[in-house]
């Protein structure tokens, strides 16, 4: 029997930090991504998750420039917009890889809603910057007009900040599970999923927020009870003292060791921190392993020859 896995691909798999946000660039990068992953999926039933931060940001900039002609859309709808767009590009890239290799596998994308708690502390302290930069005057006007929270961002201007609540559940989980078990490469929880709340009458309502994609991926991996959770990032392994002369690669660490390293400040909140936190959550809940590695090394990591393994105590 094939093992089940959730693989979270990093932002560079779609668009590099210095690359133009064009369809051609995304197609080129995703062809490379699907090429590496197609080599690693023979013995796995896989769910693929991905980020959408740059794409949502670009969409918000476009809507800001066109706001006098077409009213901007709420953030949850823009999340859905980019989930569908990226899902299409990822699925097409994998389908073309399978055709090229003569493989019978299929791929599908699901626009996914992720439940958050309306009482989550994040709603009282929005911290996630989204969208374009504004002048101080422009930011104050938007704060008055739309009730947005605006904060100065590293001397570059003012940006809207939104909550980043913890993910609690995935609305489409049963459908995702069925597709995975049927061997369909399933692309889902894009950008952390569309944040929604369950209302008192049981209905679902979107909320303007951003869910961390690694946290949502970890949640989905736990819900699906997969055998392996893989987080792809820009480096082959996790490092202590990263970027310093004393940096040291980690081949394997227990949950307790990972927590200690986090407390010592080795994994910053803005980079490796959420990935380590997400790995710990999965391993503690399932007593299975999480692998953190680069796209280029994913096949070797799945064979135990590369990457950093987070394992139970």
Instruction: Quickly count: other Cβ atoms within 10 Å of residue 64's Cβ.
Output: 15
| CA–CA distance, 206 with 76 (Å, rounded to integer) | 6
Q: Is residue 134 part of a domain?
A: no
Q: What's residue 291's pLDDT?
A: 97
Strand residue runs (E) in the chain: 3-8, 44-49, 107-109, 113-115, 128-134, 149-152, 158-162, 169-170, 185-187, 194-198, 204-206, 228-233, 238-240, 248-250, 252-254, 289-294, 308-311
Closest CA to 261 of 275, 276, 251: 276
Q: What's residue 304's pLDDT?
A: 92
Q: What's residue 290's pLDDT?
A: 97
Q: At what angle do helices 273-286 and 213-224 cross, to 10 degrees?
A: 10
Q: What's residue 190's pLDDT?
A: 93
Q: Is residue 186 part of a domain?
A: yes
| CA–CA distance, 180 with 113 (Å, rounded to integer) | 18
Closest CA to 4 of 305, 254, 297, 282: 282
Q: Is residue 128 part of a domain?
A: no
Closest CA to 284 of 312, 256, 264, 251: 312
| CA–CA distance, 233 with 218 (Å, rounded to integer) | 15
Q: What's residue 300's pLDDT?
A: 93
For strands 289-294 and 228-233, give the pairing. parallel
Q: What's residue 21's pLDDT?
A: 85
Q: Is residue 147 part of a domain?
A: no
Can you tell me whether residue 16 is helix, strand or coil?
coil
Beta carbons of 237 and 216 less than 8 angstroms apart: no
Q: What's residue 297's pLDDT?
A: 93
Instruction: Tell me the per-residue pLDDT of 119-136, one tens digit each, with 9 for 90 and over.
Output: 999 999 888 888 778 888
Q: What's residue 35's pLDDT?
A: 93
Closest CA to 217 of 163, 312, 307, 291: 291
**Domain total for the chain?**
1
- Dig out the tokens for 163 from the structure: 């909550």
Q: What's residue 158's pLDDT?
A: 87
Tens of pLDDT along the chain (313 residues)?
Answer: 789 999 999 877 888 778 888 999 999 999 999 999 987 888 899 999 998 888 888 898 899 889 899 999 999 999 999 999 999 999 999 999 999 999 888 999 999 999 999 999 999 988 888 877 888 888 888 888 888 888 887 677 888 888 999 999 999 999 999 999 999 999 999 999 999 999 999 999 999 999 999 999 999 999 999 999 999 998 999 999 888 889 899 999 999 999 999 999 898 877 788 899 999 999 999 999 999 999 999 999 999 999 999 999 9
What residue has token string 């999965």? 282
Q: What's residue 130's pLDDT?
A: 80
Positions marked active-site: 11-12, 128, 213, 275
In CATH, what number is assigned to the domain containing residue 24? 3.40.1160.10
| CA–CA distance, 6 with 18 (Å, rounded to integer) | 28
Count helices and strands in the chain by DSSP H and E runs:
9, 17
CA separation (Å) from 66 to 52, 80, 83, 132, 143?
Answer: 21, 19, 21, 13, 19
Instruction: Tell me the per-residue pLDDT of 247-273, one tens digit each, with 9 for 90 and over.
Output: 899 999 999 999 999 999 898 877 788
| CA–CA distance, 195 with 164 (Å, rounded to integer) | 9
Domain of residue 253, residue span: 3-114+171-195+205-311
What residue has token string 């101080």? 136
Q: What's residue 111's pLDDT?
A: 96
Q: Is residue 266 part of a domain?
A: yes
Instruction: Tell me the per-residue pLDDT of 217-240, one tens digit each, with 9 for 90 and over.
Output: 999 999 999 999 999 998 999 999
Contacting residues for 245 by C-beta, under 8 A, at least 6 apart? none
For strands 128-134 and 107-109, give the pairing. unpaired
């Amino acid at each position: 029997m094939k093992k089940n896995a959730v693989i979270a691909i990093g932002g560079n798999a779609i668009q590099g930090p210095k690359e133009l946000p064009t369809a051609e660039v995304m197609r080129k990068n995703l062809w490379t991504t699907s090429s590496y992953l197609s080599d690693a999926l023979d013995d796995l039933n896989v769910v693929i998750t991905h980020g959408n931060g740059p794409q949502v940001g670009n969409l918000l900039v476009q809507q800001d420039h066109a706001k006098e002609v077409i009213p901007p859309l709420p953030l949850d709808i823009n999340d859905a917009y980019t989930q569908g767009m990226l899902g299409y590009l990822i699925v097409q890239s994998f389908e073309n890889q399978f055709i090229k290799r003569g493989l019978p596998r299929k791929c599908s994308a699901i626009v996914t809603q992720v439940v958050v708690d309306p009482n989550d502390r994040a709603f009282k302290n929005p911290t996630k910057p989204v969208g374009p930069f504004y002048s101080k005057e422009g930011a104050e006007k938007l704060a008055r007009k739309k009730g947005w929270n605006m904060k100065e961002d590293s001397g570059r201007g003012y940006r809207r900040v939104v909550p980043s609540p913890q993910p609690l559940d995935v609305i489409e989980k049963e459908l995702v599970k069925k597709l995975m078990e049927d061997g369909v490469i399933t692309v889902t929880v894009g950008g952390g999923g569309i944040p929604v709340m369950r209302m008192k009458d049981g209905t679902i309502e979107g909320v303007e927020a951003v869910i961390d994609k690694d946290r949502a991926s970890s949640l989905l991996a736990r819900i699906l009870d997969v055998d392996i959770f893989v987080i792809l990032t820009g480096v082959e392994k996790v490092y202590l003292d990263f970027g310093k002369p004393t940096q040291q690669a980690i081949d394997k660490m227990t949950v307790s060791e990972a927590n200690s390293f986090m407390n010592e400040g080795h994994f910053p909140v803005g980079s490796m921190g959420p990935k380590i936190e997400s790995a710990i959550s999965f391993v503690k809940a399932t007593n299975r392993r999480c692998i953190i590695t680069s796209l280029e090394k994913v096949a070797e990591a799945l064979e135990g020859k590369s990457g950093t393994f987070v394992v139970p105590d």
